[in-house]
Every structure is written in C-alpha cells, then in structure tokens.
Structure 1
Amino acid sequence: MSCGISLVKYLLFLFNLLCSICGILLIVFGILLFSNTHNIDDIAEAVQTQQVPITMIVLGSVILLISFFGCCGAIRESYCMSMTYSVLLFVLMIGQLALVIYMWVQKDRYLVMMGDVVEKAWARRTHKADYMDAIQISMECCGKNSYIDYSFQGYYPPSCCKGNNCSIENVYRRGCKQAFVDFWDKNSDVIKYAGLVVAAIEFVGFIFACCLANNIRNYRRRSAY
C-alpha cells in the first residue's frame, strides 16, 4: 500500500481506539447509574425511570460495536470489516443528523418534553426522591413550580438549599420545571452545532474508511495476478 493509505489506516485505527474507550466509559457509567436504582419492582419500571443510564449503555454499546469494526478493519486490512464500518458509521451519521434536525424543527415540543421530565420526577418524589433531589441540586431550584410546593409539609428537603440547614431564608426560589426548561433552551443550540460538528467528523471517517476498503480490494486484485 502507498504511504498515504497506510497513514489513513493508522489514523482510522487510533480514532476508533479512542472511540472504543469512550464507548466503554459510557457503558460503565451507565451501569453505575443504573445500579443506584432503588425499590425497582420490575424491568418495565426500571426502563421508565432510568432512561438516562439506559441511553448511555445503549449508546456506548453502539459506539463500541462500530469502533470494533473500524479498528479490526483498519489493522487487519479487511475489506469486509472496513465496508461494514463504513455502512454503520453512515447510518449513525444519518440518525444523528435526523436528531439534530428534529431538535431544530421541533424545539418547542422538545422543551415541553423536558418539562414533562420534571413533572414525572415530582409525581414520583414520595417513593423515588432521588430524581427530584438530583434535579434540585444540579439546577439549584426547589419544587416543581417554586419552593412554595413544599409549604404543605412544613419543611424543605436539603437539596433545596446550599447549606445543611434548609429554611425559608436560604431556600432556592426558582421552580425546577422552569429551570430545567431554561437550561435545555439555553444549551439546545450548543447541542445542535456540536451534533453537526460530530457528524462532519463522522463523514470524514466514512470517506477515509471507503477509501481504505477500496484500496484493500484493489491491492488484493493486483496481488491475485
């Protein structure tokens, strides 16, 4: 093979090796988050309440699978694996672009869905306080609509304040539903443009993989004569 194709080969290998590590880390973190589930009676309930860790595990598995074909196809100079990697990467790129376009066109609907996340967390707070507490700590908010939502119980949970002693003087005033929606509204453009950049990188990887696969096929044809 030429020096240029050899360079492409090792660049693809290193790129997919890094992607494999990222995929493994996503799976590990997803499993760790999922293992923190408390009082789950069945799998259906687990799937419903642990969407984030499940998404991390699935995404990590997909990245690991695609990276496996990329690494093996490049280092073993396998035409079949390189083409499989190209197809899977192309499908992933198309799916990612579809998600970005969906977020672009259906932004208002997407923000409503984010508000529903807090609604569900608030509805389950009596037996699954972990989720509402996590939102209140990360968003620095209190209650679904405001801190007044806790007035009926006569005290505020520790996650509603920065200090250990949570009282009316130091409780977060902002409601979590609005805080959560504002957060995603503010960062939706960052996510969309980041998705486009990643898709562009994936497209370059797709072109490189196709070039490598084509060169491998031509090299084997020439060697057969």
Structure 2
Amino acid sequence: MSLLKILLMAFSFIFWAAGLVMLTVGIWAKISLEEYLVLSTNNYPNTPLILLATGGAVLLWGFLGCISAAVEKQCLLRTYGLFLVAVLIAGLAAGLSALFYRRDIAEGFQSGLQNAVLSYSEDEEKADALDAIQRALHCCGVHSYRDWFESPWSLEQQENHLGHNNGSVPSSCCKTRKGCHNSPLSQKVLTINREGCFKKVCDFVSDNMFYIATVTLGLALMQIVGIVLSCLLATKINHQMPDAVPT
C-alpha cells in the first residue's frame, strides 16, 4: 500500500501543479485574448474566466488528493476519484470542442471584424479592440485595407477633407504616423499595412486554441492515472479493514 500511497501523492502534486498551469493560462488568456474575444460574434468572452475557475478548482482538489492519500480515508479517496472522472469528462469535452469548432470561431471573428469596421465611429469598445489588433498584428481592415473605404467612418473623413476621394484608414493601420494620421490616402499606400486582419487573427487564435486544446486534452487523459491510483488505494484500504466482530 505504501507504494500506491506514494504514487497517488506524487500524482496529486502533479495535478496540483497542472491546476497552477491552468490558472496561469487563464490569466494569460484574460490579458492577451480579451481584445480578440470582444470582436467575436460567438459567445466566447467567458473562456478565460472558465480557465481561471477550473484552475482554482484543480488547485483545491489537488490538495485534497494529497490529504486523502496521506490519511488513507476511503470516503476522501472515492470523492477525489469522482472529481477526477468529472475533470476527465470536462477536459475531453473542452479540448475536442476547441479543435472541432475552430472554423465556427473563425467565422465569428470575420463577422465581428466587419461589424467593428462598420461601427468604428459608434462603438468605442470595439473600435479600441480593433485598433489594438491592427497595431499588434500589423494589419488593416478585414481582408485588406480597402475594407475601410466604404465604412461610415471613412466617408466622414472624406467629407472633412473635400477634394480627396482616395479613402481613409485609422492611424492604427499606419506603419508610421507621419503622413498617415487619419487622412485620405495618397496614390502610394506604402505608409500603411495593407494585409487584412482576418487571416492574421484566425492564425493567432487558431494556434493558441490548438495549444490550449492540446494541453487540456493531455491534462484530461492524465486523470486516468489518478482515477486508477485512487481506486486501487481505496480497494486496498477496504481489504485491510478488520471484519466487524459479531455480537
């Protein structure tokens, strides 16, 4: 039994560390992906919060696993095993969903980017998110910088610069602010990023979703080891319990 006890305690420590990783990833996702999730028309804004909550729960239950192995209590071991089963199911569902629904996520970003361009002068939150993405990914518009030309914001800029019909893009599209700041474009558009943001956003989110899904699936499959160890230790304890003395 001592070997099973040591193995389960070692696993519980690894499980606790995995919870710490999930908590860290949740914080990173909250900081790094929030601007991207704001622009998605799909309902994924709470994904970082889910990671944070899951990581916190795993931290607590990893600690419970160490205690249950140390005190060798059947009820605690069985409770810990049931929690690991729940984590296994949830992890498989979350990881597979992230892999299979990446196309839906991409489509949500496409329509979200289009809406952000059209409502640029009206929706400040989406405008700020779009500006941040255009600066960070060095892109402009949805599929190209020309997507801005028919936007209400660009038409307003052209009205403010009478005689210029070349279209206008926000300063966040500029490689350098000089000669580009919210003004109609010249014939040579060398001062702006001409590639659209949709492909770059999709690549960025898809890559990160793949890594997150892979880690989630790996952690979920790791739970099988913990389930087996907790069940074996609980069974061993049950077999070693003295039979009740008949009265």
TM-score, length-normalised on structure 1?
Answer: 0.68
Q: 1:66 to 1:113 in 2, by over 3 A?
A: farther
* Partner Cα distance (2:49, 2:179) in 1: 33
The two structures, once aligned, show a CA RMSD in angstroms of: 3.8
1:161 CA displacement: 4.7
Pair 1:6 & 2:5 matched: yes
* Structure 2: gaps (5+ residues): 36-42, 158-167, 181-188
Code of the aligned partner of 2:170: Y
Larger Rg: 2
Correspondence for 2:56 among 52, 57, 61: 61
For residue 84 of structure 2, give the secondary structure of its aligned residue in structure 1.
helix
Aligned to 1:21: 20
Q: 1:68 to 1:96 in 2, by over 3 A?
A: same
* Partner Cα distance (2:63, 2:218) in 1: 22
Whether the aligned pair in 2 keeps the contact of 1:97 and 1:199 (CA below 8 Å) is yes
Deviates more, 1:160-169 or 1:75-84: 160-169
**Matches of residues 145-184 of structure 1 in structure 2 within 5 Å?**
145-151=143-149, 152=154, 153=157, 154-158=168-172, 160-161=173-174, 163=176, 165=178, 167=180, 168-184=189-205
Aligned to 1:113: 108
More helix by share: 1
* Partner Cα distance (1:97, 1:139) in 2: 31
Aligned to 2:90: 95
Deviates more, 1:8-17 or 1:147-156: 147-156
Code of the aligned partner of 1:218: H
**Matches of residues 123-138 of structure 1 in structure 2 within 5 Å?**
125=120, 126-128=123-125, 129-138=127-136
TM-score, length-normalised on structure 2?
Answer: 0.63
Q: 1:110 to 1:28 in 2, by over 3 A?
A: closer
1:133 CA displacement: 3.2
May I ask how many residue pairs the two structures share in their alignment?
210
Alpha-carbon displacement from aligned partner over 1:130-185 (angstroms, at most 9, x marks no partner): 42234334433222332233441434333x35556584424222222232234455
1:91 CA displacement: 1.7
Code of the aligned partner of 2:138: E
1:11 CA displacement: 0.8
* Partner Cα distance (1:150, 1:74) in 2: 62
Pair 1:85 & 2:80 matched: yes
Alpha-carbon displacement from aligned partner over 1:11-54 (angstroms, at most 9, x marks no partner): 12321331343355456557x749x99xxxxxxxxxx7943442
Whether the aligned pair in 1 keeps the contact of 2:18 and 2:219 (CA below 8 Å) is no
Whether the aligned pair in 1 keeps the contact of 2:145 and 2:169 (CA below 8 Å) is no
For residue 142 of structure 1, give the secondary structure of its aligned residue in structure 2.
coil
Q: Once the two structures are aligned, what percentage of the paired residues are identical?
A: 24
Aligned to 1:43: none
Aligned to 2:160: none
Correspondence for 2:229 among 182, 202, 208: 208
